[in-house]
Structure 1
Amino acid sequence: MAPNKADRDFGYGYLLWLLPWGRRQFAMFGAFGQRVCIDPASKLVMVQTALDPTSEIWPLWRAVVGQLGQG
């Protein structure tokens, strides 16, 4: 249930990936790059629909939380 436990960057628990950036955040990973990112403290949710997996979502998600997030 902690970051860096399931793989190098992310933790895994209760069918959600736990994001490693010091806040309580979660993500759901789907096929072909589908992602849902959740920051409960800020009530932010970001959904990415895609045809190919990319890593672009992580810098975007961190920027959204940095600009719009609270706490």
Structure 2
Amino acid sequence: LSMTEFQAHVGADFLFAEPLFNNYDVNKDQKLSVQEFVDNAYHAMNTNGDTQVTRHEFDHYYTQLLHHLNQHHG
């Protein structure tokens, strides 16, 4: 998934599209592989390491991510 494709999906006017994309683009090649996206999000969400992401972990992850993006890019 390229940055252009990502922006088309989330909406080009979405304020955090680029920083959010860059958060997942671990190798900084301006493309998101399934592996990059899944590994990054899963490991960040699964805070207790039990191989399952609870609703609480999911909500906490996205709340923290949006807060971080707002502080640094908003």
Alignment TM class, shorter chain as reference: 0.3 to 0.5
Higher-Rg structure is 2
Q: TM-score, normalised by structure 1?
A: 0.35
Q: Normalized per residue, which structure has more strand? A: 1
Q: Normalized per residue, which structure has more helix? A: 2
Higher relative contact order (CA 8 A, sep 6+): 2
